[in-house]
Structure 1
């Protein structure tokens, strides 16, 4: 697990402010163990910082006379289709050499989730790169005289030497989708690299280029046309290869196991690979997720299954990492001498990448007809996405809605796929999935946990993208694919939690189990939600500079009255203003476009 950050001066004759270097040093990690574990490189043009807790067990840096390079994650680089992946340091050396020489051959071969930097000391030129899916982020704050960059947005947020300006476009998209679209962030002039992108900075020199585009895949001898009926087996072999090259020589691993299909596929593949798998589930007893995960563990033959009490380590933690960290530190697990005891295998990426959730026939047909306005409308309606602007004043509320519509329309239209049926799928791949692990990467310094996510294997995704979309909709192809797993594992012989509007599970199920997507919630949950919304509203109103400029004060008071009386639940009204306030409170201004 690597975190890196740095600053590069863009103009000649300028020195890096000492205060800026000190702020980067103090913010790169919040964990006390890292205070003396920060590597640095600097010259008169650049300062680079890196810390690594060693979750992957391999160095994340490379030095030679003319190059300094850092990497976060594992690029999974092979010297041949069937070869074992190269060690991380050797892979980084090859990536760095490609970057400084202007080549892209090695970059296109990497299958993993990573980001990296390479600094050419001779030319004083910096290169920053993301993986083909852009899952491992780099944030770049572009200032007139320098750029500041990091693998976590919180590091840039901690910089006080320069003022930040909120970008209402990015914030509106976060309020609606949970993430900003394209290369935006919540702040003006702070960007994220696109999937498969390189940013290069020299003295008075800047270049952006995409070494990989999912809407324009290169010709490849690796991916040959095959009959449709053979595609499930082909994708199964690629997935098993993705598992194998990530395992290397590990004999004991930890993995999440939910009641759905994604983590079940990962655990089954690990079991089929002859690995000792420790599995954990942290859902609520009495739920489908909990019961089906237990049934799956028993059916697949997993010897170690634990139920964890969900305990987040930091705010917004969706994985309950306080409990996960305790589980990974248990004597039962550590006594098996795992090679990577801080790594958990996860099914993230499977439902979108292979299951094609969030899509339906109407969305795809509209995209095929190049009616992108209808495709967007169908997409938003089908997924019930949107955000209430009721508590904003009329002017700002109207701006918020316009920005959301403008952002998604522009992003959809920027995807120039030869197969228009894939356009909205690629939108999800390049936005939803690229931002999916935001909280995980933001807080790795505190959680000390790394994930292994084979569904994000770029060869696996590439094979999917090269085929027509229709068979993949509604999990139809997914279920055919699971039939390729060894029969003795019985992957489809115990029930699973199916997505709404997707192919249902027809196996007998115990009565009375709660369903993850059931919108019915208890009166106690509604009461708690109202209380939380009321507290948020109080904070917003008490911030007079914020409330007078952006909120409808009358509606805010009515909203608070409704929450106190408990007659109706309109707690969602406060979501968008709270998101805006979160970033407003960390910035100096808001730029209204």
Structure 2
């Protein structure tokens, strides 16, 4: 894996030469990282190689260079894949990548035509960001880099609002009006005079509602095992996350079946279901589990926490793992396979045929509301958020509305799901096996009727058929989804939803609220309501933590414009 950035331009003014220098300086926050630079007076390309896969992700000859962020998983070898791409004509890339099972961003530069072509995977799990500036195009795999460059940036209020209340920006928006994100299945062609966008792969063009549950479980099982085959390569030792839910334990069960020596890490609130159920599962199957108790499970992702704790100096097993900076993760399982963000109200809205009803039902399910009195124009921003969701759904107007909603989640929520962890790759030097994002698994889920998949229905049929050992001990379930049938003789641990009020640091939220009253970001809020919220929450007369949490998340993306 690498992090990359660059500029493509027809002429190099002093402004662009300064940006070129700033990219090299800020691409990695580690000053000792080697910057590999390419410059031919049309393209400046800078990369920092972070050797998680322990294979080369770069191939070059006198006509072109190709590189992969992440892993295409056309084969189990990243080096083989990138050399395959270099040998092929660019016109063959869409056909090659349609068969790729990994999460990737492929970049290919034609030195004669002076054209940089970029391909995103089917969900754009591996991000790439770009902006036009004075006749040039600036691009980066890290959004944080743009704030370090001498370019004008203004806050995209719609994108910031979406991030604050649902956790991600919709479509190709970012926190900045000037910067855009590559989209699922998108191909970008950058030259010194143009930027052309097109889609080389669309899930909405794939067959749907064409297989039954029996065929679905068989195909899903085959696809999952194929994804593990490609990712594991020749590894004999591995590190994985393990929560109290099902996604990570399915991965662990498959690795144990293969005889892989395994250790797992769990980050959870003390004596929560996440901790207790993971611990019982590890004891049942006799493998080491390292538990790290945290006070706020929402403050960082598990992947970000791994970067802090999974170190050679702390764990002797680290030295045995062939690729210790490559961790197995269950990301994508609950949303793409279990359809966790779909309930009866959303299904009813889909059946009504009204995309506005679907948008409202989804926001209600997510408790995603802008504090209308606290945020200036809060009611208008809430209506805009609903409209933006409707516009996303209407991109798939030829599909049944429940299928359109399924794709909405895949191409928005999941599209940006691990981006925060990848932003910190220069700090934590960690990458992930993500088998639930395998194109073959997603193809099965799209081919099934939504009614078969919701509430973990097909997921549980698959596990009962192929991974009964994963169901020997209790697991955490989502409200309204199929319950765990096992009797739990342990003291009933708290679920992650019961923990919500316990794990938030009320004092920190109050500090953020008070400080916002006196800084430039406070202009976004009605200060008298914000002040009243802080006072009443501090006195225990009002539970304003959820509102203050929106302030906290909004402040993370409200940048002072350059």
Asked if structure 1 preserves the Cα contact closer than 8 Å seen for 2:118 and 2:188, the reply is yes
Counterpart of 2:401?
420
Deviation at 1:567, TM superposition (A): 1.6
Asked if structure 1 preserves the Cα contact closer than 8 Å seen for 2:53 and 2:326, the reply is yes
Deviation at 1:463, TM superposition (A): 1.2
Deviation at 1:444, TM superposition (A): 0.8
Counterpart of 2:27?
28
1:450 aligns with 2:431: yes
Deviation at 1:55, TM superposition (A): 0.7
Deviation at 1:265, TM superposition (A): 0.5
1:155 aligns with 2:145: yes
Flag the 1:468–1:116 CA change in 2: closer, same or farther, 3 A: same
Partner residue of 1:169 out of 158, 161, 182: 158
Cα deviation, 1:34-77, whole Å, max 9, x if unaligned, reads 1xx21110111110011112110111211111112232110001
- Partner Cα separation in structure 1 for residue 351 and residue 101 of structure 2: 29
Does the residue aligned with 2:268 lie in a helix, a strand or coil? coil
Partner residue of 2:326 out of 329, 343, 354: 343
- TM-score w.r.t. the length of structure 1 is 0.89
- Partner Cα separation in structure 2 for residue 327 and residue 44 of structure 1: 41
Deviation at 1:379, TM superposition (A): 1.8
- Partner Cα separation in structure 1 for residue 312 and residue 266 of structure 2: 13
1:90 aligns with 2:80: yes
Cα deviation, 1:378-421, whole Å, max 9, x if unaligned, reads 2222332223132223xx32332232122111111112453432
Q: Which runs of structure 1 show a deviation greater than 6 angstroms over 4 or more consecutive aligned residues?
A: none
Counterpart of 2:479?
500
1:482 aligns with 2:463: yes
- Partner Cα separation in structure 1 for residue 155 and residue 357 of structure 2: 30
Deviation at 1:511, TM superposition (A): 2.2
Deviation at 1:285, TM superposition (A): 3.2
- TM-score w.r.t. the length of structure 2 is 0.93
1:462 aligns with 2:443: yes
Cα deviation, 1:159-195, whole Å, max 9, x if unaligned, reads 1x11101111111111111110000001012001111
1:196 aligns with 2:210: no
Does the residue aligned with 1:165 lie in a helix, a strand or coil? coil
Q: Which runs of 5+ in 2 are unaligned?
A: none
Q: After TM superposition, list the pairs within 5 Å mapping 1:72-471 onto structure 2.
A: 72-77=69-74, 85=75, 87-95=77-85, 100-101=90-91, 103-159=93-149, 161-217=150-206, 227-299=212-284, 301-310=285-294, 316-319=300-303, 321=305, 325-326=309-310, 329-330=313-314, 332-335=316-319, 337-393=320-376, 396-471=377-452
Flag the 1:442–1:269 CA change in 2: closer, same or farther, 3 A: same
Counterpart of 1:7?
7
1:533 aligns with 2:488: no
Asked if structure 1 preserves the Cα contact closer than 8 Å seen for 2:189 and 2:197, the reply is yes
Asked if structure 2 preserves the Cα contact closer than 8 Å seen for 1:365 and 1:421, the reply is no
Deviation at 1:365, TM superposition (A): 4.1
Aligned length: 561
Does the residue aligned with 1:229 lie in a helix, a strand or coil? helix
Q: Structure 1 stretch 189-198 or stretch 407-416: which is displaced more?
A: 407-416
Asked if structure 2 preserves the Cα contact closer than 8 Å seen for 1:196 and 1:213, the reply is yes
Asked if structure 2 preserves the Cα contact closer than 8 Å seen for 1:2 and 1:50, the reply is yes
Counterpart of 1:542?
518
Flag the 1:551–1:192 CA change in 2: closer, same or farther, 3 A: same
Deviation at 1:340, TM superposition (A): 0.5
Asked if structure 1 preserves the Cα contact closer than 8 Å seen for 2:241 and 2:328, the reply is yes
Counterpart of 1:591?
none
- Partner Cα separation in structure 2 for residue 116 and residue 234 of structure 1: 28
Flag the 1:277–1:151 CA change in 2: closer, same or farther, 3 A: same
Does the residue aligned with 2:204 lie in a helix, a strand or coil? coil
Counterpart of 1:66?
63
- Partner Cα separation in structure 1 for residue 450 and residue 440 of structure 2: 17
- Partner Cα separation in structure 2 for residue 511 and residue 17 of structure 1: 62
- Partner Cα separation in structure 1 for residue 351 and residue 299 of structure 2: 41
Q: Which runs of 5+ in 1 are unaligned?
A: 78-84, 589-593
Counterpart of 1:39?
36
Flag the 1:368–1:15 CA change in 2: closer, same or farther, 3 A: farther
Does the residue aligned with 1:17 lie in a helix, a strand or coil? helix
Flag the 1:129–1:302 CA change in 2: closer, same or farther, 3 A: farther
1:18 aligns with 2:17: yes
Does the residue aligned with 1:255 lie in a helix, a strand or coil? strand
Deviation at 1:15, TM superposition (A): 7.3
- Partner Cα separation in structure 2 for residue 327 and residue 297 of structure 1: 21
Asked if structure 2 preserves the Cα contact closer than 8 Å seen for 1:107 and 1:211, the reply is no
1:572 aligns with 2:549: no
